A and B are shown apart, each in its own frame.
Chain A
Amino acid sequence: LRRLTQVRWSRYNPSFLEPEVNKELYQKPQEQLSEEEKERMELKAVRPIKAAPSSVSSSVFSDPMISKFTNMMMKGGNKVLARSLMAQTLETLKRKQLEKYHKAPEDEKEAIECNPYVIFHQALKNCQPIIGLSSITKGGKTYQVPVPLTDNRKRFLAMKWLITECRENKNRRTMLPEKLSQELLQAFNNEGPIIKKKHVLHKMAEANRAYAHFRWW
């Protein structure tokens, strides 16, 4: 049950449901839906639905993960700049991969991944930590306790690491899209500073394994 005195409230009535933009879900025939989906469809038929946000569309080019990443890259509300940077990153990724593709011999051509979206998703997945650390104060001392992370938190950490890495450890002359595409390719191949950071976090969690019982949730 939601807390009765809300700190963050929205203009919508709590009975409004989230919109579903994906076209394919609506074109699926009735028999293929599972029980849960049928229940959700019935509920959706009766309840009012929120308006779709302006960053989301049903075209092939809009991806929820990419929009989340663009929003995190955005500074001061400048969505135009963030989106153009994202587009340039994907373009540079594609160019680099195509270069490699044309130079490679015949048998390796199939192994090279050219789709920038696939590379992005795979790189993000490789960067996600499995376990995190949380500081718990017990008896005056603060311990770093290993703690399981939710999916949202994992994705957020991966994206945050990528962005901070690209902003801080780059040469003054290199552009962000170039640096980002470099990092993404490295993460795709499971190498590079972000993967190292993830491994360091895992090792710390393994080292502090003794304090795992401090967690009460």
Chain B
Amino acid sequence: KAIAYLFPSGLFDKRARPMMKHPTEIFPEQRKIQWGEDGRPLHFLFYTGKQSYYSLMHETYEKFLNAQKHQDQLIAQGLPHQKEKKNLVGSRWLTKIELEEMLLEKLSDDDYSRFILLLQKLMTLPCGDTEEKYVQKFTREVPVQLQKVVIEPLKYDERGVAFSTGEGARKTANATAVVYDNGTGKITVNGIDILHYFPVLQDREQLLFPFQFLDRVGKHDMVCTVSGGGRSAQAGAIRLASAKALRSFVTEREVEFMRQAGLLTLDPRVKERKKPGQEGARRKFTWKKR
């Protein structure tokens, strides 16, 4: 006890214990033995090779037939009620890997797509509660996180004019834009007027796109700085920057409309890398017969 007091060691501390995952996370589930003591298989579909997949298809198809019978009865009685649309929004189907984990069997792409098509067909029919619960086992929630962008309030400079800044990028071009209120529609890029900086009509159209969309063409002044990229990339970067800056001037509904028009999304398309054994990203070397 004296030694433990005089030379304290952290080896026995609770925080020094090894942090290990639960064994179920490390070792994947294995299939239990499929046949009994006499050698006869336990499942009736064992000799198909993919017993759990085929039994799943069997069950789903049974439910589908029941739903069809139910629908026929409804039609025979009177007006069939309309199926309410759900699952549009927050859920997605199981991926192939998740389905494989569930069934503990390898699946082919074709099998997986057949199963998903069958589930989709089942969804179109009016089905009761039990069938809905069955289908929900094969759906996963998609977290909906879209409206989390914070719109900055307007700032005021020395003259008392409201302005706001925005940043944008496209391919390798980076741009920052400062949009001033009570303007005449003058746009300056890197100290040069847009008519001289962008001689091509398409680029100027892209710069004016956000303003034209919001019907504010002659009402704002803009000063931007841009670097990197080519002519079209710089135009796209400034377009994104000005759209982001205009969010502070505009109602939330119009911001939503801008987003649906594709003005506020960063374009993820970049130059694809060149692969070894090929001349470019996609082009292969000339094929020579001998």
> A residues touching B (Cβ–Cβ < 8 Å)?
1, 3-5, 10-12, 15, 19-21, 23, 26, 39, 42-52, 54-55, 57-59, 61-62, 79-80, 83
B262 with A51: CB separation less than 8 A: yes
In the assembly, what is the distance between CA of A48 and CA of B256, in Å? 11
Task: Say whether, besides A4-B112, A59-B212, A80 and B262 are in contact (CB < 8 Å).
Answer: no
- Residue B146, interface by CB 8 Å: yes
Contact of A19 among B146, B201, B262 (CB under 8 A): B262
Q: Does more than half of chain A's interface fall in helix, strand or loop, or is it mixed? A: loop
Residue from the list A3, A12, A21, A45 in contact with B268, Cβ < 8 A: A12
Nearest to A17 among chain B residues (CB) is: B260
Question: Which residues of chain B in 198-222 are interfacial with respect to chain A, using CB atoms and an 8 Å cutoff?
Answer: 200-202, 205-206, 208-209, 212-213
Nearest residue (CB) in A for B206 is A54
A residues in contact with B90, CB < 8 Å: 46
User: Nearest Cβ distance between residue B100 and chain A, in whole angstroms?
Assistant: 12
B254-268 Cβ-contact flags toward A at 8 Å (1 or 0): 001101111101111
- Whether A3 contacts B202 in the complex (CB less than 8 A), given A20-B261, A39-B88, A50-B265, comes out as no
Q: In the complex the two chains form, is B202's CB within 8 Å of A45's CB? A: no
Known contacts A51-B266, A83-B201: A58-B89 contact under CB 8 Å: no
CB <8 Å contact, A1 and B117:
yes
Q: How far is the CB of B147 from chain A (nearest CB, A)?
A: 9
Q: Is B236 an interface residue (CB 8 A)?
A: yes
Closest chain A residue to B144, Cβ basis: A46
Which residue of B is nearest A14, CB measured?
B92
User: For the complex, is B162 an interface residue (Cβ under 8 Å from A)?
Assistant: no
A51–B240 Cα gap in the complex (Å)? Answer: 9
Interface: B270 (CB within 8 A): yes
Q: Which residues of A contact B142 (CB under 8 A)?
A: 15
A45 near B265 with CB under 8 A, answer no
> What CA separation (Å) do A47 and B88 show in the bound complex?
10
Instruction: Point out the residues of chain B lying under 8 angstroms from A48, CB to CB.
Output: 146, 265
Considering the complex, give the chain A residue whose CB is closest to the CB of B96: A4
Say whether B235 faces chain A, with CB atoms less than 8 Å apart: yes
Give every chain B residue within 8 A of A51 (Cβ-Cβ).
240, 262-263, 265-267
Main secondary structure of the interface of B (DSSP, over half): helix
> Which A residues touch B144, using CB under 8 A?
46
Chain A minimum-CB-distance residue to B236: A54
When distances are taken between beta carbons in the complex, the residues of chain A under 8 Å from B209 are 52, 57-59
Beta-carbon contact of A42 and B116 below 8 Å? no
Whether A46 lies near B89 (C-beta < 8 A) is: yes
Closest residue of chain B to A23, judged by CB?
B213
Q: How far is the CA of A50 from the CA of B259 in the complex (A)?
A: 9
B201 contacts A50, CB within 8 Å?
Answer: no
Q: In the complex, what's the smallest C-beta–C-beta distance from A68 to chain B, in angstroms? A: 15
| Residue ID in chain B nearest A59 by CB atoms | B212
Contact across chains for B200 and A57 when beta carbons are under 8 A apart: no
Contact residues, B236-284 vs A (CB, 8 A): 236, 240, 256-257, 259-263, 265-270
Judging by beta carbons under 8 Å apart, are A4 and B113 in contact? yes
Q: Give 8 nearest A-B pairs by CB, closest first.
A: A19-B262, A52-B262, A51-B267, A51-B265, A4-B109, A11-B268, A1-B113, A26-B257
Complex CA distance for A139 and B85, rounded to whole angstroms: 49
Q: Cβ of A10: which chain B residues have Cβ within 8 Å of it?
A: 269
Point out the residue from A4, A44, A57 that lies within 8 Å of B260, measured CB to CB. Answer: A44
B148-171 CB mask vs A (1 if < 8 Å, else 0) is 000000000000000000000000
